[in-house]
């Protein structure tokens, strides 16, 4: 074991859908709810837009965790984007765990535009789990 870096803070990439989760994050901000500043939000049109490549690239390029959040089933702005996404994510998450990557590094959830509180809680939970896991080492690109 190397030296423990006490200043280390997890870096988490959050892909949020424009119509629900991003608005949920906004509401959390407007409502002045506290949540850790470890997430970097990337706004996407729909959770269906998120390719597994995005998630893998994040992990390759230094993210310690990835969160994907979309509209609740049935609430998708494009009707079925989140349903299709759900199938893809189920497979991706299962495969990552299968090859031995900590399953908690990649998380999926639904947050609606009215769920500011839930958004803050999700970020809390994800940050704490990733913090407990420590820095991601397995998929990250190394210097040659």
Using the structure block, give the residue that is written with the tokens 């839930």: 118
7: which 2 tokens?
């200043």
49, 77, 125, 131: which one binds another protein (CB under 8 A): 125
- Rounded Cα distance between 88 and 125, Å, is 23
83, 128, 133, 135: which one binds another protein (CB under 8 A): 83
29, 43, 94, 114: which one binds another protein (CB under 8 A): 94
Number of amino acids touching another protein (CB under 8 A): 45
CB of 14 to another protein, least distance (A): 12
- Rounded Cα distance between 141 and 63, Å, is 11
Q: By CB under 8 A, is residue 121 in contact with another protein?
A: yes
4, 30, 37, 143: which one binds another protein (CB under 8 A): 143
29, 31, 80, 134: which one binds another protein (CB under 8 A): 80
Q: By CB under 8 A, is residue 62 in contact with another protein?
A: yes
Query: CA dihedral in degrees (26, 65, 55, 112; nearest 10)?
Result: -30
9, 57, 75, 77: which one binds another protein (CB under 8 A): 57
- The edge-to-edge listing of strands for the beta sheet with 12-17 is 39-44, 12-17, 65-70, 106-110
Nearer to another protein, 23 or 130 (CB): 130
Nearer to another protein, 19 or 105 (CB): 105
CB 107 within 8 A of CB 65: yes
Within 8 A by CB and 6+ apart from 63, the residues are 11, 12, 13, 136
């Amino acid at each position: 074991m190397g030296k423990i870096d006490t200043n280390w803070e997890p870096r988490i990439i959050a892909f949020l859908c424009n119509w629900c989760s991003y608005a949920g994050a906004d509401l959390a901000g407007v409502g002045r709810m506290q949540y850790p500043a470890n997430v970097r939000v990337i706004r996407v049109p729909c959770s269906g837009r998120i390719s597994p490549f995005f998630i893998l690239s994040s992990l390759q390029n230094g993210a310690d965790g990835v969160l994907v959040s979309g509209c609740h089933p049935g609430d998708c702005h494009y009707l079925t984007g989140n349903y299709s996404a759900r199938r893809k994510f189920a497979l991706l998450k299962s495969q990552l765990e299968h090859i031995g990557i900590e399953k908690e590094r990649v998380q999926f959830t639904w947050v609606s535009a009215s769920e500011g509180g839930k958004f803050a809680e999700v970020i809390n939970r994800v940050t704490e789990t990733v913090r407990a896991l420590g820095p991601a080492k397995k998929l990250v690109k190394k210097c040659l």
